[in-house]
Amino acid sequence: MPVKVAVNGYGTIGKRIAHALLKSPDFELVGIAKYNFDYSAVLAHRLGMKIFVPRDKLEEFRKHGVEPEGSIEDLVSEAELVYDASPAGRGAKNKELYVKYKKPAIFQGGEPPEVAEVSYNTLCNFEKALGKSYVRVVSCNTTGLLRVVCSLGSNAVESVFGVIVRRASDPKEDLKGPVSSLALDSAQIPSHHALDAKAVVGDLAVETVAIVAPTTLMHVQVLKIRLRKPAGFEQVVESLESSRRVLLLDAAAGIDTTGKLVELARDAGRPRYDVYENVVLASSLSRSGVELTLVQAVHQEAIVIPENVDAAYAVLNLETDVHKVVEKTNKLLGVGELKYLITTGAK
């Protein structure tokens, strides 16, 4: 029997989680919570999703021809697991509802780490999330950074220094900036990404500096990683590629900007041009002794979706073997398929 799952909040992350769950034989999407009426309620309704709204919004949705299935409380009470994809900081308040109905929940990176028992990344600490009631999937940039570190093996990494060029806003967020400046993120060093990475891999020596750039497409990270022991180039490539969550892109693909990467995803038929993989430019990958340098693009809207799906298997104890979970989720979302469109060719 598929497990009944709810998605509370149907924005950038929530709609992608909901669409992933719709395709999975292991989960049944019991419904989504919408807080304001807009076109996405109509599209979700047409796709057959059940829509739950705050009690005082029932009439507003009806007026526009979308019959709500019930209230947010009804949705939570029907589900066996809730994904909280609310605006950053709201999930911690929503938790009261999940506690009231004794429902496990998966939170997003905009919440403080204390909201959950575990801050999570599949390749780093899947086992720690097994059977937990509250798990937090860390932010997009931290997910990108941790995938690299844990693909190499966190024990194999002595330290990481990362410069993150962070997209200023998602495409739909018209009013966020900066529009022309580059700005130090949160005016602090290290940026929250390093702290977040440590919330997952406690003893990781990591420092990050994040600069906010006027773009909506993707983040770009420059990572300098010091390994504990020298590793051969082939070994590094194999480690990075093994989970298929990291795509090494050869220069021959002709992609040297985030804009071209978006075009690749569109041409490959990815929904919403979602790039679930870290995209490492193979030409940037250099290794000298114990030092490894790479440049990677991270699609902020999509990168945490595989980890969100994986986390459900852990929380519900549906599958305890991380390799099987990664394989299932990769298959569900087509993660790793882009590799077969482009030969890696890394040398």
User: Exposed (0-12), middle (13-18) or buried (19+): which is 121, by Cβ within 10 Å?
Assistant: buried
Rounded to an integer, what distance in angstroms lies between the CA atom of residue 69 and that of residue 92?
Answer: 25
Is the CB of 33 or the CB of 285 nearer to ligand NAD? Answer: 33
Query: Where does this chain touch ligand NAD (CB under 6 A) — which range of 30-38, 260-268, 270-278, 314-322?
Result: 30-38
Rounded to an integer, what distance in angstroms lies between the CA atom of residue 306 and that of residue 329?
Answer: 6
Annotated catalytic residue, options 140, 164, 194, 204:
140
Residue 170 binding ligand NAD, by CB under 6 A = yes
Q: Which of 3, 5, 6, 10 binds ligand NAD (CB under 6 A)?
A: 10
Residue 140 annotated to the active site: yes
Residue 124 binding ligand NAD, by CB under 6 A = no
Name the helix (H) or strand (E) containing 8. strand 3-8
Residue 68 binding ligand NAD, by CB under 6 A = no
Residue 12 binding ligand NAD, by CB under 6 A = yes
Residue 11 binding ligand NAD, by CB under 6 A = yes
3-state secondary structure 106-162: EECCCCCHHHCCEEECHHHHHHHHCCCCEEEECCHHHHHHHHHHHHHCHHHEEEEEE
Rounded to an integer, what distance in angstroms lies between the CA atom of residue 297 and that of residue 125?
Answer: 23
Amino acid at 92: A
Q: Which of 7, 78, 94, 164 binds ligand NAD (CB under 6 A)?
A: 94
C-alpha dihedral sign at 164, 134, 318, 48: negative
Is the CB of 237 or the CB of 297 nearer to ligand NAD? Answer: 297
Q: Across the chain, which distance is largest between two alpha carbons, in Å? A: 66
Name the helix (H) or strand (E) containing 166. strand 157-167
Q: How far is the CB of 105 from ligand NAD (least distance, A)?
A: 11
Position closest to ligand NAD via CB: 11
Please answer whether residues 3 and 28 qualify as being in contact, where contact means their C-beta atoms are separated by less than 8 angstroms: yes
Residue 221 binding ligand NAD, by CB under 6 A = no
Residue 144 binding ligand NAD, by CB under 6 A = no
Residue 109 binding ligand NAD, by CB under 6 A = yes
How many residues contact ligand NAD, by CB under 6 A?
26
Residue 43 binding ligand NAD, by CB under 6 A = no
Residue 146 binding ligand NAD, by CB under 6 A = no
Length of the chain: 347
Is the CB of 12 or the CB of 133 nearer to ligand NAD? Answer: 12
Contact set with ligand NAD (CB under 6 A): 8-14, 33, 35-36, 85-88, 90, 94, 108-111, 139-140, 170, 300-301, 304
